[in-house]
Chain A
Amino acid sequence: MTVLDDLLLFTALASVAIIALRRFASISKFSVVVYALATVLLIKMSALGYGGEPVYSSFTVNVLGQILQWRFDALSWFFALITLVSALLAAFFMSGAWGEKYCKEHSKEAYGLLQVALILNVLSMLVLLASGDLLSLFIGWELVSWASFMMMALNPDKLARKAAIKYIVYAMAGAMAFLMAIAMTYNMTGSLDYVQVMQGMAHLSNSQIALLVSLYVMGFGIKMGVIPFHLWQAAAYAETPGAGAVFMGAISARMGLYALLVVIVQIIGLTRVAAIEIPYTFLDMQNVLAWVGALTTIIPTYIALKQNDARHLLAWHGVGQGGYMLLGVMISDSIGTAGGIMHVFNHATYQAALFMTVTAVIYRTGTSNFSKLGGLVTQMPLTFMVMVVSIIGLAGIPPMNGFVSKWLIYRALLLDGQPLLFVAAVIGTLGTILSVYKLVHNTFLGQLRLEHQEVREAPLSMLIPMLGLAIIIFATGVMPGVVLDWVAAAQIAVGIAPVEHNLGGIELVQGGLDMIWVTGIMFYGFAVGAIIFYVLGGKSKHIHQYDNYAGGHFLTSKVRYHYSNHFYAGLMHMIGGWYRNVFIKLEHALVSLVSFMSQFSENFYRSSQPVMLVAVVVVLALYFVLGSSGGAEVSAGVSLGGFNQ
């Protein structure tokens, strides 16, 4: 029994236990303990995070000539850590007041199912991360897809149902592309074992590699929600019940990136991808993928800007941030991939924190609609603080951790000589900053609405994980070396030179980054400003929150002034014409095409003369027969009576 065996077995048994105990009230406490224990088991493998040897599972299955095996390496360990910690925090988050309210609003059964869905997600992700060959990777992949589907389908609303069904169709398309790629890989290299496939890849021609890469990227890209497959993700994640959304927003969509790192980066190798020229253009395959990443940062982020619901805004951001990760990985040098992989961790921290704050707001106010929120900062100051910390991280501003990974990606783009991609990434970041401001402004700033005057701070069970995440965001921002250690180990695991780093940041000849210094200078600056302000006068006047006017009218306390409808109207006036819903129209066109084809095919089965089809198929078959063999052999025995001649 290896530690990996222990971990997988423990999680599997825990799933069974949670399924069995889902109706009991103590289930929430139980699940927190489960995730904590699983995390402890994972920490026992922490040598992996610092360059240890892979841990193999002793369990293998021999099926149809394939040996299915499972193992953990540094990359799996890194993703597993994020998974388990997100699950632990999400479970803690829903164990208290939120869970009780959820039970009351839906049912105890529904809450139990949410816990079941969470543990199944965790289990399937661990299975995926542990996969040791392409077939077990596919099995894990599908398990993750269906576990996510279960989580999404728990919300019985019509919108959520639609999102879930859309998700599962997209996921199936991705899985099928993946399966096709696996089948081809098997036939081209004769095996599905990582090592043997890696050796076999060396003998393949560029066109074969191009086909494989396109299929694999399509499969993984659908899960990641990259352009043009981005339509499903946001709605599906946003409509997942609160604590579920925390978990899924943090890690679920990143499984695509994990598989991409394993297959495209580790097995096929980015040098092979870069060697594929796209005909009639000056691009190669790697550039194309990088551009897909860049477009994914831009388009979903600007779609997020238009959302009028906090959950949807965040979920669209999740899609956009996936683009950064892809972009970083596709730069293929040690700094870029480090940025891409590190962004997974950073994004998980602040996305989880943001979903928690929004869920807390929903818990207290019952809505996440921007038009019905505002001014909550006076009522929920701690939640506000967590959100501010997180959006600073999301926007990539020091001293939070999002800055470090984005800095790495920008730096790699500049060093690599990709100014256009750099500009694209900056445009994406601009959109991020605009929309996170919209989030914090419309939720917490402005004047408090009348109906929210009784709102109190979020309960402690929800605050603790939120504050914990805020501390992580800040701490890993100031000391990114902690995470970069793991990232470097993961880079070695996928065959890329590890990034040179120290506790404070990156060591680079062309100018490194030391976050301890950056933070120090920032706070020094703040301190100087504060001293100047307070020592030299400190003239400020306290006015009441409602002491203001608009359009020359003084507002009474009955009218709450909060600018949230048509937010960024001026900006939208400029860029509004760019939103053309091209992809939505494309999707509709596809559905119409299927519908048309379906009506067309139905006519085969509605002929009034049943014999007509028999006659047609006989004639066609005979035509096929005659056409295939030519007329040469007809003379061999065309006379029906000629068998004894």
Chain B
Amino acid sequence: MDNIVLLVVLPLLAAFLMPVVARSSEVLARTLGLSVLFISIAIILNVWNQSGQIDSQAVSIAIGGFLPPLGINFYVDQISLFFALAVPVMVLLFWPWNRSTSIREYSLMMLLTASASGLILSGDLFNIYVFYELLAIASYSLVAIQGRAAAVAASFRYLLMGSVGSVMMLLGIAIIYTQTGTLNLAHLSLLAPEKLNNILGLGSFALILTGMGVKAELFPVNSWVPEVYGSVSSNLAALMAGLLSKLAVIVIVRLLILLFPQPEALQLMAVLGIMGVITGELVAWRAKDFVRMLSFSSIGQLGLVFLAFSIPGEMGMMAGIAIVLHHMVVKPALFMLATGWRGSLENLSGVARRSPFAVLLFIVLILSLLGIPPLPGFWAKYLLMVGLSSQDGSIYTLGMFIVPVAMIIEIAYLFRLVMIMYRKEGDEAAVNNPDIKVAPQSHSKWGLAIAASVAAMLIAIVLQLQPASDKLVSLASQLSDRNQYISTVFPQIHTVRMQSIK
């Protein structure tokens, strides 16, 4: 169990070793990165097999033997273990395989892996901040390293926004610290009802939300999304949209559950979520190329996520997790399909004739994204709608009307695209700007394989609806269980309020 720590240590080590090793042997450096990823996956699978009790009982690992609240700890429960597994798996899937990739990019990928694993496992705010910053630096650099001028400019704008966001987050953490005198999440959670249930606590949540929101594509700190996704390779865009945004969301949700009991915190998230959904879908409706459409659709989906998590109670938690997991697999698959379909939407005219399989996959994926029963996306939407309608607040009522409108807009633009794909060839030649037209290339086999396996996964879930829904319920109940978190980290106390260490 303790070797969970290696999930952070090994990739971090590899990140700094790789450029050094590359001086002597490039091949060795490349294999080093890959082998670390495989080892990480093996470790997690091993942990999963060994301790079946993770399903019901989480585990806290004190690093270096110093017990929390003074020492730092990793908190391992189902959801963090799942995301810790998702990190190396997805990094591996979207690994920049081509030979021309410089060793620096691999090194940055390893940094990304290390910080992402650390972010999801960390049990205190300080480490969350540090890993978040590392993740941010890794992603700025990965965007900038793509080489094109646009990528550098987009990355710089992303950097400005992200740095200001993390300064805000730091300020929020400082406020929390001054109020409670601790940064350990479990300890904070004990103190929160007393010391953070006030206006300063709420203010610090707003600041942390803003900071984390930059990564989580929260409205309106997400204007980097279309620029960055438009200028980087599909692999990286898939990784960022699929994995990194979800990690930030899960961390925000964890903080929300443990630290901020105020209903206003939820309302704030609901408002921003609603704005994200409607603006994202509206702008995607106007998008002229596939990647931009996907970027804005991703913003809209993340808005849905925030809206779902803002619903108090089990239903909202279930809806949120369902949408997160669903979007986490579907959006990367769509980005993989985008590799072959760069360029204007009009260029995709009649593409169904040339690559029918890819178009079929695309349709299955977007049907699930739209929430067409019985595909998994439907159950997520269903939970969201039931959750929204169970609340009284006017914001939730507004959300209940906004979400359907957003879905209608989404279906309009996605199926407009499908119709373009099924157009007869030669019919209405795309007259755009003839000299800057990019012809659709064919898909890489790897990308198609990823998309196909995601589609197969979706259908498998439909066939195994009952166990999947049971799993979702157990995930949601564990994520929303504050007492379990506290009693896992501090086994000596259960109900007795722990004295402040001060």
Contact = CB atoms under 8 A, between A and B. Distances in A.
B206 A622 contact: yes
A617 B210 contact: yes
Most buried by B among A146, A600, A643: A643
Given A169-B408, A633-B199, A183 B206 contact: no
Contacts of A186: 386, 389
B382 A605 contact: no
B382 A601 contact: no
Given A614-B168, A621-B206, A158 B427 contact: yes
A592 B468 CA distance: 42
A138 B203 contact: no
A618 B264 contact: no
A139 B374 contact: yes
A611 interface: yes
Interface stretch (A233-241, A288-296, A623-631): A623-631
Contacts of A598: 282-283, 285-286
Contacts of A545: none
Interface string B441-485: 000000000000000000000000110010011000000000000
A503 B225 CA distance: 70
Nearest to B299: A605
B138 to A, nearest CB: 19
A176 B200 contact: no
B282 A142 contact: no
Contact of B179 (A156, A605, A634, A637): A637
A142 B17 CA distance: 54
A62 B466 contact: yes
A601 B279 contact: yes
A618 B157 CA distance: 18
A594 B502 CA distance: 57
A614 B210 contact: yes
Contacts of A607: 223
Given A139-B374, A610-B157, A629 B168 contact: no
Interface string B374-409: 100011011101101110000000001101110111
Contact of B283 (A63, A605, A638): A605
B209 A621 contact: yes
A207 to B, nearest CB: 14
Contacts of B419: 153, 161, 164-165
Interface string A580-618: 000000000000001101111110111100110111111
Contact of B174 (A64, A597, A621, A640): A640
A636 B388 contact: no
A177 interface: yes
Nearest to A632: B199
Given A179-B404, A187-B390, A624-B264, A143 B373 contact: yes
Contacts of A455: none
A335 B41 CA distance: 69
B373 A180 contact: no
Contacts of B175: 640
Contact of A613 (B207, B223, B466): B223
B70 interface: no
B268 A614 contact: no
Given A172-B411, A601-B283, A63 B379 contact: yes
B61 interface: no
A139 B373 contact: yes
Contacts of B168: 614, 618
A164 B420 CA distance: 12
Interface stretch (B4-12, B32-40, B123-131, B158-166): B158-166
B373 A611 contact: no
A138 B373 contact: yes
A3 B180 CA distance: 67
Contact of A183 (B178, B224, B382, B466): B382
A168 interface: yes
Contact of B386 (A187, A618, A625): A187
B408 A611 contact: no
Given A176-B408, A613-B161, A618-B210, A142 B373 contact: yes
B403 to A, nearest CB: 8
Contacts of A552: none
A643 B401 CA distance: 44
Interface in B16-64: none
Given A179-B385, A610-B223, A613-B221, A644 B181 contact: yes
Given A173-B408, A636-B198, A640-B178, A605 B223 contact: yes
Interface secondary structure of A, over-half rule: helix
A212 to B, nearest CB: 11
B389 A629 contact: no
A380 interface: no
Interface residues of B, number: 87
Contacts of B76: none
A622 B168 CA distance: 12
Interface residues of A, number: 66
Contacts of A577: none
Contacts of B278: 601
A159 to B, nearest CB: 12
Given A61-B465, A614-B165, A629-B198, A183 B404 contact: no
Given A601-B279, A628-B202, A613 B180 contact: no
B206 A625 contact: yes
Contacts of B203: 622, 625
B321 to A, nearest CB: 12
A551 interface: no
B198 A637 contact: yes
A624 B268 contact: yes
A426 interface: no
B282 A601 contact: yes
A538 interface: no
Most buried by B among A161, A600, A607, A614: A614
A164 B419 CA distance: 9
A642 interface: yes
A641 interface: yes
Given A61-B466, A169-B411, A643-B178, A610 B220 contact: no
B422 A176 contact: no
A385 interface: no
A347 B249 CA distance: 54
A529 B181 CA distance: 106
B382 A179 contact: yes
A397 interface: no
A597 B202 contact: no
Given A176-B407, A179-B381, A625-B206, A641 B178 contact: yes
Given A169-B408, A613-B223, A637-B198, A187 B207 contact: no
Contacts of A633: 198-199
Contacts of A172: 370, 407-408, 411
Interface string B327-363: 0000000000000000000000000000000000000
A414 B160 CA distance: 74
Most buried by B among A605, A616, A621, A626: A605
Interface of B: 157-158, 160-161, 164-165, 168, 174-175, 177-181, 195, 198-200, 202-203, 206-207, 209-210, 213-214, 219-226, 262, 264, 267-268, 271-272, 278-279, 282-283, 285-286, 296, 318, 367, 370, 372-374, 378-379, 381-383, 385-386, 388-390, 400-401, 403-405, 407-409, 411-412, 415-416, 419, 422-424, 427-428, 465-466, 469, 472-473, 502
CB-CB nearest 10 A-B residue pairs: A176-B404, A621-B206, A183-B385, A601-B279, A183-B389, A598-B282, A139-B373, A610-B161, A628-B264, A601-B282
19 contacts: A61-B466, A63-B379, A64-B379, A165-B415, A165-B416, A165-B419, A172-B411, A183-B386, A598-B286, A602-B282, A605-B226, A610-B157, A611-B161, A614-B214, A616-B220, A617-B220, A621-B206, A625-B202, A633-B199
Given A64-B318, A64-B382, A179-B381, 11 more contacts: A139-B374, A169-B411, A176-B403, A179-B404, A183-B382, A595-B285, A611-B161, A617-B272, A618-B168, A643-B178, A644-B181
